[in-house]
Each structure stands twice: as structure tokens, then as C-alpha cells.
Amino acid sequence: MVIIRITRDQDNNITSYSVKGHADAAERGEDIVCASISILAQTTILALHEIAAIDIMYEVNDGYVFCKLPDELSKEKREKASIILNTFHIGIRGTQGMYARYIELHDEEV
């Protein structure tokens, strides 16, 4: 199972996310659930870096992706980050809607 944790600040802005595990929906290399989640998580990191020009903290390993925004962001960068991270969240929810037995989503305020 893939476990996704999204954390938010008191203003409901996404500040970090982690993706752990494997869906095991198919053989390795043919698992569209794992591939979908991985693409969403890694593209979000790239977009935060390349489009929003945010120096994020991130880690990508086999079965693990982590991304965290810096504590201090300008209003402009926060707005760009929100669009990118909310798009990630929409993609995750959509994928979970199709493959709920393989994905566990936790969306929490810290």
C-alpha cells in the first residue's frame, strides 16, 4: 500500500508531503498505481523548483518521496506553491478514487 501524508499550516496551505511504500497492484515495472503516484510526487518537486523557483527540501528513494517547503516564502512564491501543491493533491485524490485499495491518504493540519 502507498501511504501519502500531506501536512498543512494553520492557513490550510500545504507545507509538505511524503509518499511511502508500493501499491503492489501489478508486477514491478507494470504497476500503474505506483507509477501514477510517483509521477505526481516527482513532477510536483520539479515544478516547485523550476516554475516557482523555490529552494525546497526533498528526498527521493525507492518507495519514498518527501517534499517540504521552506518556512518563509514571499507572497508570490507562496501563491505559486499553493497552485502546484493543490494540483498534486487533486491528482492524488483522483488516483485514490480509482484505486482506493492501494492508496491511503492522510491530509492533516500541523
CATH, residue 38: 3.30.70.1490
Query: What does the alpha-carbon distance between residue 55 and residue 21 come to, in Å, rounded to a whole number?
Result: 26
Q: Give the tens place of pLDDT for each residue, 47-106.
A: 999 999 999 999 999 999 999 999 999 999 999 999 999 999 999 999 999 999 999 999
Query: What does the alpha-carbon distance between residue 26 and residue 31 come to, in Å, rounded to a whole number?
Result: 5
Query: What does the alpha-carbon distance between residue 90 and residue 8 come to, in Å, rounded to a whole number?
Result: 15
Which domain does 44 fall in, by range?
2-109
**Using an 8 Å Cβ cutoff, are 70 and 57 in contact?**
yes
The more confident residue out of 83 and 108 is 83
pTM of the model: 0.93
Number of folded domains that form the chain: 1
Can you give the pLDDT at residue 42?
Answer: 97
Can you give the pLDDT at residue 109?
Answer: 76
Mean pLDDT across the stretch 29-41? Answer: 93
